[in-house]
Structure 1
Amino acid sequence: MDEVEASDMSGDEEYSDSGQGAMIMATVIHKALENKKKGLQKDYDWIVHQLSQDNMDAQIFYRWLKSLRYCTTDINHKCESLVNATLKIKWIDREESLLDLYIGWLADLVTVHTSFYLDPCLRMLINHFMSSNDSRELTVGENQSFDIFGNKQVHRAMQTVLHLVPSSQTRLIPILTHYFPSEYKPLDQYVYYVSNLLRLTVYAPGLRSQILELTVHKLVKVDVEVSRDSINKINQIFADDEMQFDVDLEMNDSNSADKLAVLPRDLQQIANLADKLDLSMSIFLSYISIICYQQGKFDQSAASLLFTDLLTAFDTIILPTHDICHIQFYLFVTCSYDEEFVKQMLHLCWNKFEDTNVPAVLRQTSVAYIASFVARAKFVPLRIINTCIEIFCTWIHRYLDEHGNCTTADIDTHCLFYSACQCLFYMIVFKHENLMADEEGKKLLNRGGLQRIVTSKLNPLRFCMPILVKFFAAITSEHELVYCYTIIESNKREQLPTALFGGDKQLTRDINNQLDTFFPFDPYLLSRSAKTIEPLYQSWDDNLNSNAACTKNQQEENEDDDDYLSSDALSPYDCMNSFSPGFGISPARAMMQNYYRARSHSNSMNDDKF
């Protein structure tokens, strides 16, 4: 390449008069590409080397991109190294005119050479989803717009590509899936990727359902690693060290590392995962709110379309996943926006429970979602609570009509019956005050046939969680709905066999021959995202049912039930931990603490809340 050409390519003209220079450079590129076809690689390699230079100044950047756009049709599938060099150029932080030029180059490339260079362009853009060019820290809160979600410049380019090449949407999901960061990647990469994925759905609505399913699927993988027991241990260590486990939104703050230093290495990893999940959930909940509320007003149409996609993700991903703690709360929050959403969610779960083609474990999980949702959601209207109680009672009585003469109460054979009973008892324990304060609710409980259920030969009180049975008995006795204590005492005297089971039956019982106690909307443990959930959530109040519990505990004060609490059987406190194993305001923890306080202080109650 002669000195005149090289000198012109390093010229210093301003943008306004560099058009001639760009034309000359285009001639050079054209000549190099022609020579490459003839096997002469030197000039081509030199161009690739120049394009690969770091920190290319604005003028050179302008000339190269301008000249390349003149030569788009000369490029073929053998020019991969040149195209890759342009895709590695630092372009995001450039000024507006240069940014437009680079996006124009990408547009030319994907429209002229779709089959060769569409995927590389998409991969380059998606790779930028793991970073942000915004100097501000990523924050979430109220009254925000989609500006908080992701890199605006990258999305300008992506939107252009998707508009010009509609078929690119079919290629996008596999690439998005491939580039989704592992849960063990740095916090900022993971959270920025989630943010950018959600922003992508705004201008690519046809991909929203798939993107939401991908996002939920990946967050589930994190959630299953963040167990309640682990978070309890972390909080206990921080409490002993007078610290608080909290998500640090300043993702590069060294204080986070200092806080985690007090934890064992395995818990440090759990804490990092909890950070990712907490901030990702905050962003996800903010995204849902922004879609549903346009300019401060609820947008019924937009919200309904979004809810359809969210419910699909719940059905296909959340429901089949057992013992997750947090991710399901996205649907809990979304249901609070519209009563119709509540009905759709409950309808889906009930239909799945009644479908005999659905595996038993999934049917049990479905009714657990209904019971936990109805018990915990403050926004569920009383008439819907009444409806849920009624359909549970109806189903249970229909089951008794068909199987009530069975002589053996077997949890394997009748696991669905016992699950339905446990869920019914759970809803009554949580909502009995609402039900008894309402005339229709009171009539419903009186005509619900609770006496028949409790005294049936299938003996549901034997297999339901002991602490739940204890409170159900106290409440129903106080309101003269049913008397359970004779059956409870009889069950206590029986020695329940202890055995271990494999396969799906592990989810049906624990080693004390009791039902699985998974209630999916037990207390939410992530502090940042919990701020959205707390106003909607009914926590277990320490004083709730205290009078009923004390009344029965006083009656039992002189009874010798220590044999039941000892030996090889699980204590009520152990059962309580399986019922609601999280820290915070756990219903079972409050129940157990009520119970032992009542036994130790029969005439007084501590008013602290747990």
Structure 2
Amino acid sequence: MTTNTPLSRLAFAPTVASSPIKPILRKTTSVLGTRSRADDSDGADEEEHPMKRQKKTVVFNEKLNMIREISGKSLEDAKREVRQALEGHARGDDEDYDNLKELFAPSNRNRSPDADEDDTRPQELLVYVVALTGYVPMLGRSCAGLIRSVLRCSWLDRDENFTKAYIQLLAALSSVQASFFEQVLTMVVEKFRETKSYSLVPGFPPVDLETKKRWLHVGIKYLLDLFPAGSNMILNFVASKFPHTTESKAVHMSYIDHLLRLKASRSDLERDIMELILEKLVKLDVEMTLDLENDEDDTTRAVMRSIQVAGDKDDQEDDESDDESVMSDDDDDLPEETKRVIMIKRKLETLDAIMDLVFSIYDPIFEKPDSEEAVECFKDLLSDFKNVILPHLKSRHTQYLLFKFAMKSDQLMELFLGMLLTIAFHSTDAPVIKQAAAAYLASFTARGARVQSHNVQLIVGCLLNYIDYYRETHKNCRGPDVRRYSLYYASFQGLLYIFCFRWRDLLDQDALPESVDWDDPVSFLGKELPWMPDLKRRMQANIASKLNPLKCCSPVIVEEFAQLAHHLRLMYIYPQIEKNKSIHLSQFFTGSYAQGGALRDTGFEFDNEKWTHLEACFPFDPFQLPIARRWLDLENNYVTWSPISVLRKPGEEDSDEDDEEEDSDEEEGSEEESEMGEEELEDREGLFEEDTATDDERAD
């Protein structure tokens, strides 16, 4: 008999009332015979008086934590039957063995109360669980069918006594073979998906879902305490069996609830479990983004309208609606577009619910954002961000965990910005990771309402330093190429993006004209403004370089920057934009040359110029999830886009002579750039600034 470590938290003291148990063994003399109780029990006590038997209660061996007798059926009788069934199976005689398998089969849960008295009642399975625990060492590979039946047993749907005994059986199985332990852990993890509010086995009172969850995790904790190596095994199982993105919100939420319970009981798994949840959250987030991008605008609008309506309703749903939240049979008759809208909507609801839950987990930790606990937790989040979120630039919502908590204090904000700067410009990470970090840096600086002016100027200064360095080291480049120089264009586009949102923070506030009202953007228009040192000169030098960033950056961002910069008298770039319309990037972006190959290797030709532009992807674009957004305090923490309505494009009232003069000056600067020395180029840029200022005055 296998002796297990006592299950200290599962002290047995139950009382079971039941009718006499019927044996599972066949009535025959060929194998077992019809021996008396004394013969079969190896010296067991003689049979007791019937009246005394009726008063017998369940007695446990406290040392082994096992049942000795239930009603009139002794443990020794059950052990004899189990032993003989296993021995017969070893000889090739499977009748008793098959009866033992059937005893544990889930079909017994639907047994009718009027079934034959010779059948074993559901309540009577307990004694066989205890008996089998003692003979687990006899189970080998040939007993795989019995083990499968045992593991399919509805053990959480019965009473507490059965659950405790069954956990002991699982522990005994786990101690025999590693493969049995794997099967046990797989079985318990598969129960993470259950969503029914209660379940019923005939002969037992209904068991609610919370009780089943509690006992499931008591069992998991007991097993992992006995076998610590199982921590890594169960972590692999929960990762591999995580619900697919198309499964219902109820299944996702149940599964994650179990993961959080596992995290609470196993501190060694805490970091791995939270990283797993974020990893699956990002996967769902990215998939949603791609679904919406690949659909027509009408489909996207339909999804967002339905989500917004859902957000106004009570989020509590009953089990039936949760269980049917996957595509039902009735949906098969719907048009394909309608089915797609329904599926995307359900994914969004799942994403929203998980985001709301994750916010609720972290929020209490950051009530004191500068505490040691909060700082350490934020560092863990930064690690998860780098490993899980950053590589997926299509994620639109998960990264708001960093946005929300970085806004809590200057210390946390500086940790986030510092990490992004390090990854983008001082790391050996892959170019795509560095480019993503640059996009995060620009987006956070632009959208973070609590990012102070001095930090905005610091970030802009870092971006300017990088693009200046890159321009100097690539003077002899052939021309603009978004694949070769992706980080350069990402940094320049980040500058334009930050300017569009935070241009006031790039001014010397102490030197502003008295006529300017900080809260009135219109009052800044047409004024000579004190920009941060060398902002204009350094940006113009890059715009006029062979790298030609205005051609490669997103046209939408370039257009918005051009309009603002013109009316704020920073610079006038429309001639360069017009000139770029005649430049085809495919001539610089053809075949393997883009990756350093020979010019004769033509390779893939880009017929559509939009594929040669840098994508306008900024991770902190507006948060769309209606429920989870309540955590973000967007009114105080988020900079929304507010265009200046009075702005107009140049040329609406400008004279043709002015435009021709600007165009001529811009073309001269572009043609002469490669022949100029640094000092001559700076002089030329100074003349260009003066000409631009004159034109700006006339235009306004």
Q: TM-score, normalised by structure 2?
A: 0.65
| Per-residue CA distance 1:178-226 (angstroms, 9 max, x = gap) | 3223323344333422332343222233334443444344334433332
Is this contact kept in 1: 2:501–2:641, CA < 8 A?
no
C-alpha deviation, 1:420, in angstroms: 0.9
- 2:30 aligns to what? none
Q: Which amino acid aligns with 1:128?
A: K
1:483 to 2:548 alignment: no
Once structures 1 and 2 are overlaid, which stretch shifts more, 461-470 or 420-429?
A: 461-470
Which of 179, 182, 188 in structure 2 is aligned with 1:125? 188
| Per-residue CA distance 1:62-100 (angstroms, 9 max, x = gap) | 323333334444444543333322211112233333333
| Per-residue CA distance 1:343-401 (angstroms, 9 max, x = gap) | 33333332222257444333222201111122223344444333222211222233344
Q: What are the residue-to-residue correspondences of 1:12-91 with 2, within 5 Å?
A: 16=58, 18-19=69-70, 21-23=73-75, 24-52=77-105, 53-55=107-109, 59-91=123-155
Between the aligned partners of 2:212 and 2:373, the Cα distance in structure 1 is 21
C-alpha deviation, 1:131, in angstroms: 1.2
Once structures 1 and 2 are overlaid, which stretch shifts more, 289-298 or 360-369?
A: 289-298
Is this contact kept in 1: 2:457–2:505, CA < 8 A?
no
Between the aligned partners of 1:559 and 1:528, the Cα distance in structure 2 is 55
C-alpha deviation, 1:166, in angstroms: 0.3
| Aligned Cα root-mean-square deviation (Å) | 4.5
1:268 to 2:330 alignment: no
- 2:626 aligns to what? 527
Listed as ranges, the gaps of 5+ residues in structure 2 are 1-24, 28-33, 41-46, 48-52, 60-68, 112-120, 200-208, 513-517, 519-528, 596-603, 660-700
Q: Which amino acid aligns with 2:385?
A: F
C-alpha deviation, 1:13, in angstroms: 8.2
Which of 532, 537, 557 in structure 2 is aligned with 1:468? 557
Once structures 1 and 2 are overlaid, which stretch shifts more, 83-92 or 69-78?
A: 69-78
Change in CA separation of 1:498 and 1:395 when aligned onto 2, cut-off 3 Å: closer
Which of 265, 268, 276 in structure 2 is aligned with 1:203? 265
Change in CA separation of 1:410 and 1:234 when aligned onto 2, cut-off 3 Å: closer
- 2:464 aligns to what? 393
- 1:108 aligns to what? 172
Between the aligned partners of 1:128 and 1:205, the Cα distance in structure 2 is 21
- 2:533 aligns to what? 447
1:511 to 2:605 alignment: no
C-alpha deviation, 1:121, in angstroms: 0.7
Matched position secondary structure for 1:446: coil
Between the aligned partners of 1:158 and 1:350, the Cα distance in structure 2 is 43
Change in CA separation of 1:49 and 1:516 when aligned onto 2, cut-off 3 Å: same
Q: TM-score, normalised by structure 1?
A: 0.74
Which of 290, 299, 309 in structure 2 is aligned with 1:234? 299
Which of 422, 426, 434 in structure 2 is aligned with 1:363? 434
Is this contact kept in 2: 1:278–1:527, CA < 8 A?
no
Between the aligned partners of 1:295 and 1:461, the Cα distance in structure 2 is 41
Is this contact kept in 2: 1:367–1:423, CA < 8 A?
yes
C-alpha deviation, 1:122, in angstroms: 0.2
1:421 to 2:475 alignment: no
Between the aligned partners of 1:239 and 1:333, the Cα distance in structure 2 is 23
Q: Which has the higher helix share?
A: 1
- 1:376 aligns to what? 447
Between the aligned partners of 1:269 and 1:238, the Cα distance in structure 2 is 9
Kindly tell me the number of residue pairs found equivalent between the two proteins.
544
C-alpha deviation, 1:164, in angstroms: 1.4
Change in CA separation of 1:280 and 1:415 when aligned onto 2, cut-off 3 Å: closer
Decide which structure has the larger Cα Rg and report it: 2
- 2:638 aligns to what? 538
Is this contact kept in 1: 2:281–2:354, CA < 8 A?
no
C-alpha deviation, 1:123, in angstroms: 0.4
| Per-residue CA distance 1:128-147 (angstroms, 9 max, x = gap) | 111135469xxxxxxxxxx9
Matched position secondary structure for 1:151: helix
| Per-residue CA distance 1:497-529 (angstroms, 9 max, x = gap) | 5678679999x9972443221112222333333
How many percent of aligned residue pairs carry the same amino acid? 21
Which of 237, 241, 245 in structure 2 is aligned with 1:183? 245
Q: Which amino acid aligns with 1:54?
A: N
Change in CA separation of 1:474 and 1:98 when aligned onto 2, cut-off 3 Å: same
Q: What are the residue-to-residue correspondences of 1:148-163 with 2, within 5 Å?
A: 151-163=213-225
Change in CA separation of 1:134 and 1:358 when aligned onto 2, cut-off 3 Å: same
Between the aligned partners of 1:233 and 1:385, the Cα distance in structure 2 is 38
Matched position secondary structure for 2:609: coil
Matched position secondary structure for 1:527: coil
Once structures 1 and 2 are overlaid, which stretch shifts more, 436-445 or 174-183?
A: 436-445
Q: What are the residue-to-residue correspondences of 1:165-176 with 2, within 5 Å?
A: 165-176=227-238
| Per-residue CA distance 1:260-311 (angstroms, 9 max, x = gap) | 8997425634642453354345335533542452697669455445444443
Between the aligned partners of 1:288 and 1:204, the Cα distance in structure 2 is 21
